[in-house]
Amino acid sequence: MWAYILKRLLLMIPTLLGVLLVTFVVIQFVPGGPVEQMVAQLQGRSTGGEGAAAAGAAYRGRQGVDAKQIEEIKALYGFDKPAHERFWRMLVSFARFDLGRSFFHHKDVWELVKEKLPVSISLGLWTFFLTYLISVPLGIAKAVRAGSRFDTVTSILVLVGYAIPGFVLGVLLLVLFGGGSFLAWFPLRGLTSPNWEELSLWGKVVDYLWHIALPVTASVLGSFAVVTMLTKNAFLEEIRKQYVLTARAKGLEERRVLWKHVFRNALIPIVTGFPAAFIGAFFTGSLLIETLFSLDGLGLLSYESVIRRDYPVVLGTLYLFTLIGLVTKLISDLCYVWVDPRVKFD
Q: What share of the chain is helix, strand, coil (3-state, %, to 5)?
A: 75, 0, 25
Domains and CATH numbers, the chain: 31-96 (no CATH), 110-339 (1.10.3720.10)
**Using CB atoms within 10 A of its CB, is residue 344 exposed (0-12), middle (13-18) or buried (19+)?**
exposed
Per-residue pLDDT of the chain (346 residues; tens, 9 = 90+): 788 888 888 988 999 999 999 988 888 777 777 777 777 766 665 444 444 444 444 444 445 566 777 777 777 777 778 888 888 988 898 888 888 888 888 888 888 888 888 888 888 888 888 888 998 899 988 988 888 899 899 999 988 888 888 888 888 888 888 766 677 788 877 777 778 778 888 888 888 888 888 888 888 887 888 888 888 888 888 888 888 888 888 877 777 788 777 877 787 777 777 777 777 766 665 778 888 887 888 878 888 888 888 888 888 888 888 888 888 888 877 877 777 677 776 6
Q: Which of 47, 109, 147, 117 is nearest to 281 (CA)?
A: 117
Integer CA distances (angstroms), 294 to 189, 214, 232, 291, 345, in order: 5, 12, 36, 5, 46
Exposure b/e, 124-160, CB count within 10 A at least 16 = b: bebbbebbbebbbebbbbbbbeeeeeebeebeeebee
Distance of CA 318 to the CA centre of its chain: 12
Q: What is the pLDDT of residues 280-293, one digit of tens each?
A: 766 665 778 888 88
Exposure b/e, 87-96, CB count within 10 A at least 16 = b: beebeebbee
* Residue 273: partners with Cβ closer than 8 Å, 6 or more residues away: 332
Q: Does the global pTM surpass 0.75? A: no
Report pLDDT for 44: 63
Alpha-carbon distance of 300 to 289, in angstroms, equals 9
Q: What is the pLDDT of residues 287-312, one digit of tens each?
A: 788 888 878 888 788 888 888 888 88
The answer to whether the Cα torsion of 126, 119, 310, 279 is positive or negative is negative
CB 339 within 8 Å of CB 324: no
Alpha-carbon distance of 183 to 161, in angstroms, equals 22
Alpha-carbon distance of 332 to 62, in angstroms, equals 52
Query: What region, left, alpha or beta, does residue 61 occupy, with left being phi > 0 and alpha being psi -120 to 50 degrees?
Result: left
CB 160 within 8 Å of CB 225: no
The answer to whether the Cα torsion of 20, 332, 6, 94 is positive or negative is positive
